[in-house]
A and B are shown apart, each in its own frame.
Chain A
Amino acid sequence: MTDWIVVAVQIGLPAALLLLAYVVGTAVESRHYRSLRARELRTRGFPVVTFREAPPEWRITGSELVTGSVVISLDYFKRFLAGLRLLVGGRIRSYETLLDRARREAILRLKEDAFARGCHAVINLRMEAMRLNRTLGAEGGTAGVEILAYGTALKLEKRGAV
């Protein structure tokens, strides 16, 4: 009887966690994508470019460094899938969407930061990624990935017609 309980807990608990992670994780991800799309549409007219120099016709009156960052992690179900994928190799879609969400979120925060400071454009956008390790437990579970976007925000005399 006790054996049966032990087996039920050992199999049932991870399975329940997987199910919970799948349901909630999918909802979290689709909500994030909805928010990303809405904010991207709203900030569409704000130029963010990777040029090292501003186009010469822009009349620059000021500049400052702006950043946007986010730490984001994968749900348990997708980490489990990614673990399976490691056995056969190939494309890990769950990590691709994670990094896609993180990068878009970081760029949006950079835009929002620049806009809040009264700037009109951002040049020389650069991005960095850092993997965070857990302090607790070394079972390989990641504590997430940080994406940092940074660039030079410009104040323009008159909005540059590019």
Chain B
Amino acid sequence: MILSNTETVPGRTIREFYGVVTGSTVRAKHIGRDIMASLKNIVGGELKGYTELLQEARQEAVERMVAQAQSVGANAIVNVRFATSSITQGAAELFAYGTAVKVE
């Protein structure tokens, strides 16, 4: 599965469109990580635990989007976009969407 955030797959020609595919996941932080982050908050800098947490979550959203694209017979997803929203305190939805296509 080729992913791209441009309108086409660079260097390839699109043969068929299958419409929008989406993938999402809602994640909560766990409290231990939040306590560590609170301590780290005093001196500032990167909160590695959160960086990894969000990367994993986003990866899962992408995998769900890819699974949906595979189920309709696509071999690429173009114009992939990411969105996030804070559903409630301490939880966030990570969302990936794009257009499933078939390229040569």
Contacts and interface: CB of A to CB of B under 8 A. Distances in A.
Interface string A118-146: 00000110101011111111100101101
B34 interface: yes
B42 A128 contact: no
B84 A17 contact: no
Nearest to B34: A135
A61 B46 CA distance: 36
Contact of B45 (A72, A132, A141): A72
B16 interface: no
Nearest to A53: B6
Interface in B1-25: 2-11
A75 B8 CA distance: 43
Interface string B20-40: 000000001101001101101
Interface string A10-27: 000000010011001100
Contacts of A159: none
B43 A28 contact: yes
Contacts of B40: 73
Given A21-B42, A73-B41, A128-B84, A135 B10 contact: no
9 contacts: A64-B3, A70-B51, A73-B44, A76-B44, A78-B44, A131-B86, A136-B34, A143-B41, A144-B50
Interface of B: 2-11, 28-29, 31, 34-35, 37-38, 40-48, 50-51, 54-55, 58, 62, 80, 82-84, 86, 89-90, 92
